[in-house]
Amino acid sequence: MKKAGLFFLLISSLAMAQKSSLEQKINSITTGKKATVGVSVLGFENNFKYSKNGDKELPMLSVFKFHIGCAVLDLVDKGKLSLDQKLFFKKEDMLENTWSPIRDKYPDANVSLSLGEVLDYTVALSDNNGCDLLLKLIGGTQTVQKFMDSKGVKGVQIKRNEDDMHKNWKTQYDNVSTPNSAVLVLKKFYDGKLLSKKSTDYLMQIMLGTKTGTNKIVEQLPKSTPVAHKTGASGKYEKGLTVAENDIGIITLPNGKHYAIAVFVNNSTESDAVNCRMVSDISKAVWDDFNK
């Protein structure tokens, strides 16, 4: 019993030291910055946990496209939708003043793409027009909210589509997640507790192929590192305000183990470069900590 007790104390003190060391590094990155920064980290195999503002509800921006992707694939799992079915984009579906690689490729619209293609555009390329067509297909943001609620995902609220958020930028504050909720939903996803194995693998591959946010959590990690992630960014508004610069993801370590990370930079008056560098530096600090 004594040996077991000593071993437990040793493990506990090592975990405390890891958390303290990481906290110091992250505080050194965020101190003095004119922004609210939320961070959450969850080691999948060792259950290591770290959070800074982890229970604070922060605007998600396009991070919510991960949640939408899950809700769409749940309907695929239930046989109500098929990845091969065609979605038709009318001219009025191609909003002009928004981020949309689909519109850039098909400026005249009147094009049919498979549900699988639209999912890839929406998650890996963060296409806003693809996002809103998916929401229209499944019955709106309330379908996504109900799905998350049904899976016991706490600390997330999804009320607005991309069109809403472009018509009135203040509605960006209506779609929120806590950083802790973000890493916990990624763990549920990874564990196959949200979707079938086939759909989990499918969405994981899309997220591993994310093309946005190369200057965020992936920037300073070794190039071959598998990172399944989803980014979000607001742009700038009154008095240089950035509502959000976000990234959440599942990272595979060289030893084959994993951790989830969520970094949310909120209400910042720093430059875009500074905001993204904070996300990148925090990600590097966490990586270094896990690879000690």
Q: Is residue 57 annotated as a catalytic residue, yes or no?
A: no
Bridge partners of residue 228, in order along the sequence: 250
Catalytic residue (choose from 57, 100, 162, 270):
162
Q: Is-contact 134 71, C-beta < 8 A?
A: no
Number of neighbours of residue 211 by Cβ within 10 angstroms: 10
Q: Is residue 23 annotated as a catalytic residue, yes or no?
A: no
Catalytic residue (choose from 40, 62, 181, 199):
62
Residues classed as catalytic: 62, 162
